[in-house]
A = this chain, B = another copy of it.
C-alpha cells in the first residue's frame, strides 16, 4: 500500500488527533513539582495506553528512581532498520499562572494554535510521531521498519535517571538511528534540521583564602583576597582579543573547508539576526569569525555565575574566605572534554598564587556531536520535510548541547536526527505556550515520510536479541 494512503488516513482524522492531543496536554505533568507526582503516573498510563491502542506490538510503563519511562516497540521486521523515537511527557512549571490567557492545563484552540503548557514542548511534537505510527498501523497493518519509542518524564529536570536506564537496557534499546522532535524550525515555510551540537563542560572553580571572613579595614593590603584572585584567574582565561588563553586549548579544533563555510554563511543567521535576537548592539569574540561561526564551529568559555563575599544591600567591608565561579565551556570537533578539563586544571594550577588554594569540580561533560548532512538518515529527513512542508529544509548548526543526544551516542552508539516541528514563538517554557496545528499535520506527514525514507535508504547495522519481548520488566 503506497504512502499516499497512509497520508490520506492522517488527513481524514485531523480533528480527532487534535482532541487526543488536548487530552494529553490536560495532564499537569510538572515533573519538578512533587504535588504532581500522581499526574505524572496517570499521564504515563494514558500514554502507554495510546501506544497500545494505535497498534504497537508492545507498550509498557517502566518505573525508575524518578518518574516512569514509557516504552513501546513494533513487531520485529527482520532485515529492516530500527528507529528509536525519543520524547518527553513532563513539562515546565506553568507559573506565573496569571500571565496565561487560558488556564495552562485546559487546552483550547485559538487561531490554529493549541494553547497549553507542554502543547509544543514536548507533547505536541512527540504526539506527531505517535499519530504517524497510527496512520501506518491502521491503514497497512504494519510499519515499513522497526520502531522503538522511549518517552521519559524527567527531561525538564535534566534526565537524571535516563543514563542509568539506557545503560541497564542497552541490549534491548538497540537501533540504527534516533529521532528527536523537541525544537523549533525557522518558520512554517522554513523547516530546518540541526546537524551539529557543541559539547560542554560545566564546572566550579573555587579559590580558598583565609579560614574565615576577615575585616577589610584591619587586613586589607596584607592578606590575599580569594575573590580578587578568582577575578585575576578568570581575567587570564581569555586573551585581549577574545581567544581562550589556556595553552593547548585550540590544538585539536577542527577547521572546515571553504564549501562548508560558504554553506554556513549562506544558510545560517546573519550578524544582524544574532545580535538582534540577543538584544545587544555589539558583537564580540574571536577575530576573523562570524558570530554564527563563533557560536557553532568555535569553542567558547562563559562565566555563568560568581558567588563570593557579601551579597546584600549596601557595603560590608570583608575579605571573604572563599570565592566560587561557575564556568561553562562549549566544545567543537575534535576537542575531547577530558583533555580540555586536564588542560584547564594544569593552567589554573600554574597561575594560582601560593597565598590561596584553588580547586576545580567538574559537574557535567558532553562531547560535540555532528551528524554529517550526507548521512542517509539526514537525507531521509530532508526528503520527509519536503513531503510534509512542501519545501526543502536547511541544515543548521547549534551552539547548544542536548545531553540526551550525547547519551544516545555514547551508550547506544547511534546518531540522532533532530527534526523539529515547533516554531520559534511557541513560548516554550513561558506562559501561553502553544503548538501550531498546521505544523502538527505537516509534521505527521513528515514523520510518515521519514519512516518510509529511512526504510528505503538505511540498512540495519544493529543486531539485537529479545527485541520482540519488550524490556521484560513488567510481570
Which stretch in A66-74, A130-138, A275-283, A440-448 binds the other chain? A275-283
Known: A315-B304, A363-B314. A285 touches B222 (CB 8 A): yes
Interface contact B222-A328, CB-CB below 8 Å: no
Interface residue? A364 (CB, 8 A): yes
Find A231's partner among B230, B285, B330 (CB 8 Å cutoff).
B230
Residues of B within 8 A of A401 (CB): 217
Alpha-carbon distance A304/B320, docked complex (angstroms): 7
Residues of B within 8 A of A215 (CB): 400
Alpha-carbon distance A211/B224, docked complex (angstroms): 34
Which stretch in A38-46, A113-121, A233-241, A466-474 binds the other chain? A233-241
Alpha-carbon distance A253/B57, docked complex (angstroms): 85
Interface residue? A172 (CB, 8 A): no
Known: A228-B234, A231-B303, A399-B220. A328 touches B320 (CB 8 A): no
Interface residue? A33 (CB, 8 A): no
Interface residue? A225 (CB, 8 A): yes
Q: What is the 8 Å Cβ interface bit string for chain A, positions 274-317, against chain B (1 contact, 0 not)?
A: 10001110111110000100110011111111111111001111
**Least Cβ distance of A194 to chain B in Å?**
12
**Least Cβ distance of A360 to chain B in Å?**
13
Interface contact A301-B227, CB-CB below 8 Å: no
Interface contact B202-A280, CB-CB below 8 Å: no
Residues of B within 8 A of A230 (CB): 231
Residues of B within 8 A of A222 (CB): 274, 278, 283-285, 291, 294-295, 300
Interface residue? A349 (CB, 8 A): no
**Least Cβ distance of A308 to chain B in Å?**
5
Known: A303-B225, A306-B306. A295 touches B219 (CB 8 A): yes
Copies of this protein in the complex: 2
Q: What is the 8 Å Cβ interface bit string for chain A, positions 339-361, against chain B (1 contact, 0 not)?
A: 00000000000000111000000
Interface footprint category on A: 35 or more
Alpha-carbon distance A305/B278, docked complex (angstroms): 28
Residues of B within 8 A of A220 (CB): 295, 300-302, 328, 330, 399
Chain B residue at minimum C-beta to C-beta distance from A202: B315
Residues of B within 8 A of A236 (CB): 235
**Least Cβ distance of A371 to chain B in Å?**
17
Interface residue? A232 (CB, 8 A): yes
Interface residue? A110 (CB, 8 A): no
Interface residue? A223 (CB, 8 A): yes
**Least Cβ distance of A299 to chain B in Å?**
7
Known: A217-B330, A305-B320. A315 touches B399 (CB 8 A): no
Interface contact A303-B309, CB-CB below 8 Å: yes
Find A283's partner among B212, B223, B316 (CB 8 Å cutoff).
B223
Known: A217-B400, A232-B234, A235-B234. A223 touches B280 (CB 8 A): yes
Interface contact A326-B309, CB-CB below 8 Å: yes
Interface residue? A62 (CB, 8 A): no
Interface contact B304-A309, CB-CB below 8 Å: yes
Alpha-carbon distance A198/B200, docked complex (angstroms): 47
Alpha-carbon distance A237/B210, docked complex (angstroms): 21
Find A355's partner among B274, B284, B310 (CB 8 Å cutoff).
B284
Known: A202-B315, A307-B311. A295 touches B228 (CB 8 A): no
Interface residues of A (CB under 8 A from B): 198, 200, 202-203, 209-212, 214-225, 227-228, 230-232, 234-238, 274, 278-280, 282-286, 291, 294-295, 298-311, 314-320, 323, 325-326, 328, 330, 353-355, 363-364, 398-401
Q: List 9 A-B contacts (CB under 8 A).
A: A215-B400, A222-B284, A231-B325, A282-B354, A284-B353, A304-B310, A305-B311, A306-B323, A310-B326
